[in-house]
Amino acid sequence: MKTYDTDLRGKLCVSLCGHDKGKIYVIIASDDEEVLLADGESRTLDRPKKKNRRHIQPIIHLPEDVREALGECTDLTMKRALRLYKQAEV
């Protein structure tokens, strides 16, 4: 069984490959090869998506309100943070 650390925990990322290409997720855990992703809707904390670390692009620069919304990682706060990020993007 792999152990996941939290070095990228709470950061947003964009999927680069697969059927979900372009979708934005919150990283909930990571190791050297894989990350666990959730979006609070189809992928909740109870059933995160496992993805190869090379197939995501972390989003470094986040608006302040998005960073604040990601303070506590729950399904509700993830949905709110993703909605705020998409609104700021437009």
Q: Which residue has the higher pLDDT, 39 or 72?
A: 39
Helix (H) / strand (E) element for 81: namely helix 75-89
18: alpha, beta or left? (left if phi > 0; alpha if psi -120 to 50) = left
1-20 tens-digit pLDDT = 565 555 778 889 999 999 99
pTM above threshold 0.75: yes
What residues have CB less than 8 Å from 18, skipping those under 6 apart? 51, 55
Task: Tell me the C-alpha distance between 81 and 12, whole Å.
Answer: 9
Condensed to tens digits (0 to 9), the pLDDT of residues 57-66 reads: 999 888 888 8
Q: What is the C-alpha R_g of the chain?
A: 12
